[in-house]
Structure 1
């Protein structure tokens, strides 16, 4: 198949119009129509139903999925080739607790390895590395499109291993959780707290169907969710006021200073933290950043 014809068909399929596709591609309408017709002859199948608003035929639906993938790879190749000429700032994405604990330390190590003096290291990190927050699916998608050069994601360690289309996954560490209690809580006298001791407590968590909820269910009770929040600062304030308890990932423990933090007695939840890198061309510092993350992660594993 001629890739140009495939991409021309893609434009028609998305625009549902030969004339609109021609304008988008800066071609004439007859040229677009001829390319699609030639592609259909080559494949021996109709791709578009011209009598019903240019709807896709079954063959057209199959080819469009491949055409979209081809267009995405061409766009990624164009971005990566442009970056070879003038390497851009290293763009790293991460979920909040990794962005607070792992990534800054890794960036500082990159500066140290480059021989930057401590006084210039922070400014160099901010000037040469862009840090962005996001959810794991969002970050994986942005790595795949070339918008980020490296990202950190996570998943519940008890679930089936998650892979992301178009990116490479590298496991970094397995993280455990701590119980976060209000100051002076009756259970704070314990060195470690069984989850069953929290069955009657009110909870704050990102949702009622996440890793924390599954850990409570595994311990034999349903979490009594009194507030839904993804903001660590808000969560700390609610707990400090004595209104709830929660489980805190070790990477985010520093953000819960002033609370009673205790290990979980017995089996508690765990999550796998991993890096995501694009397939194909990579930023010159991407592997160095990965090495720095491995060194920093050894303190948390």
Structure 2
């Protein structure tokens, strides 16, 4: 297949209009129509149907659009990597990371990286794991640190390589004067009546509580480790904390959880043309996770 025709078809498919796609591509409408018609001849199937409400993808069109989007992502990444290869930004490494990894893994990783490569410049940006993955795909980030609930199906990210670095258990974090403080292990159902702090109403903490047979009464929704520690320390909430965060939360009581939840930490990297500091950073992350986990 002619990749230019595939990308032209992609524009039409997303715009649902030959004329709108022509404006986006700076082409004439007849030229766009001719390219899509030639592509349909090439693949031996209709890709678009004209309907009163506009264009509609056929089954073959939906299949091809998925590959066309992947092709566009690959070309965008290639453009970014080639531009970096030829400019002065080559030394700057851009890392994406979710909030709690910034409080545990990433700072020590960056310190080790700078010790080994004194001239390297590192930029770390916080974000949601899924949003950061998209930025790695486009080359905006060189790698990202991500996590997922280990109880869910393994999450793969099309077009990216996943490197698993740690499976981490959660602990219960309690106020120091809580009735369960001092117990080495607790069952979540013992906290069914407690107020909870969580990152969301449907995330890992909520799922763990529901699996234990109760709906958590969430009184604080935040991902900020400092805010979480303060809510728990002042006796206004309990929560679940990844083990890596325990050293950064002094003044709280912690306990292991009977059949408690776990999360998988992993790193996402793009294909080809990786920044030269990606591999040393990945190795440093693995070493830090192993030492602290």
Residue 150 of structure 2 is matched in structure 1 by 157
User: Residues 221-236 of structure 1 correspond to what in structure 2 (within 5 A)?
Assistant: 221-236=214-229
Structure 2 unaligned spans of 5+: none
Provide the aligned C-alpha RMSD in A.
2.3
Q: Give the drift of 1:88.
A: 5.2
1:1-301 to 2 correspondence within 5 Å? Answer: 1-50=1-50, 52=52, 53-86=54-87, 87=90, 89-114=92-117, 116=118, 128-258=121-251, 260-264=252-256, 266-301=258-293
Give SS of 1:186's match: coil
Unaligned runs of 5+ in 1: 117-123
Q: What SS class does the counterpart of residue 104 from structure 1 fall into?
A: helix
The structural deviation recorded for 1:56 is 3.0
2:133 and 2:144 in contact (8 A); partners too: yes
Deviation, 1:47, is 2.7
Q: What SS does structure 2 have at the residue aligned with 1:273?
A: strand
CA contact (8 A) 1:169 1:276 kept: yes
Give the distance between the partners of 1:62 and 1:214, measured in 2 at CA. 34
After TM superposition, the structure 1 stretch with the greater mean CA deviation from structure 2, 234-243 or 165-174, is 234-243
TM-score, normalised with respect to structure 2: 0.88
Provide, for residues 180-210 of structure 1, a one-character-per-residue CA deviation record: whole Å limited to 9, x for no partner.
2223223223344443432332222123433
Distance 1:60 1:194 in 2: 52
Contact 2:96 2:143 in 1 (8 A): yes
Distance 1:185 1:177 in 2: 18
Q: Give the drift of 1:62.
A: 2.7
The answer to whether the Cα contact below 8 Å between 2:145 and 2:265 also exists between their aligned partners in 1 is yes
TM-score, structure 1 as length reference? 0.86
